[in-house]
Every structure is written in structure tokens, then in C-alpha cells.
Amino acid sequence: DAGITQSPRHKVTETGTPVTLRCHQTENHRYMYWYRQDPGHGLRLIHYSYGVKDTDKGEVSDGYSVSRSKTEDFLLTLESATSSQTSVYFCAIRKGTGTEAFFGQGTRLTVV
């Protein structure tokens, strides 16, 4: 496995509460990504980062924020979780733009 760890792996939270998911890498790769996956939609890009403190929006960024204060950590925050954010979240890393991506094992988030 590429050195990617997502935490937590499973979480149940209540509507309206803040939630932070963590992606940690040991590869010193420049690029990090957050995706969500829902039935019938495949993988959809939420946010990505191309360096420390450098982030940009993906296809479905509304309701999410990210931070990258260190190369190894990329945090995804749901400021006020909603039931529509119940999903499986995947983190990915890439060394460079022309290289392959490596994915974490996913975080299953349930908002009740």
C-alpha cells in the first residue's frame, strides 16, 4: 500500500454537527485529493491540494472546506453535516501531475 491513512474509517454523526476527516500520507507527495462516492455517481472530486496551503475546488465542493498546513496531512471539514453528505469519502495522493494516483481505503460517513 502507498502510505495513505484515512481516519476515522467509520463515523456516525448527527445533522448540524461539524465533522473533520483526516488524510495522512508518508510519501511526501505534492498532490492530495478528496472524493466522495455515492451509488450511481461514481467518484466525484470535492477538493484537491497542490501544495501546503494551496487548495482548489472540485466538482462538488459546496458544504465542504479543506486545509493543508503540512505536506502529509489533508483535512476535509463538513462545517454543519447534512444527510446528503452521507457517503464514502476517499483520499488520494499523487507525486506529480503526470503520475498515477494512490487511494486510501475510504471513510464511511453516516449523517443521521
Partner 1 sequence: DAKTTQPTSMDCAEGRAANLPCNHSTISGNEYVYWYRQIHSQGPQYIIHGLKNNETNEMASLIITEDRKSSTLILPHATLRDTAVYYCIVRVARNEKLTFGTGTRLTIIP
69 versus 99: smaller Cβ distance to partner 1: 99
Look up residue 1 and give its DSSP letter.
Answer: -
Q: Which stretch binds partner 1 (CB under 8 A): 16-24, 38-46, 69-77, 78-86?
A: 38-46
Provide, rounded to whole angstroms, the least separation between the CB of residue 34 and partner 1: 11
Provide, rounded to whole angstroms, the least separation between the CB of residue 102 and partner 1: 7
Question: Which residue in 29, 33, 36, 78 binds partner 1 (CB under 8 A)?
Answer: 33
Enumerate residues 13-32 that contact partner 1 by CB under 8 A. Answer: 31
- Which residues make Cβ contacts (< 8 Å) with residue 92, sequence separation at least 6? 4, 32, 33, 35, 101, 102, 103, 104
Q: Does 34 bind partner 1 (CB under 8 A)?
A: no
Q: Give per-residue burial for 80-101: e unless 16+ CB within 10 Å, then b.
A: ebeeebbbbbbbbbbeeeeeee
Query: Are residues 63 and 78 in contact, defined by beta-carbon separation less than 8 angstroms?
Result: yes
Q: Does 94 bind partner 1 (CB under 8 A)?
A: yes
Query: Are residues 31 and 47 in contact, defined by beta-carbon separation less than 8 angstroms?
Result: no
Q: Does 79 bind partner 1 (CB under 8 A)?
A: no
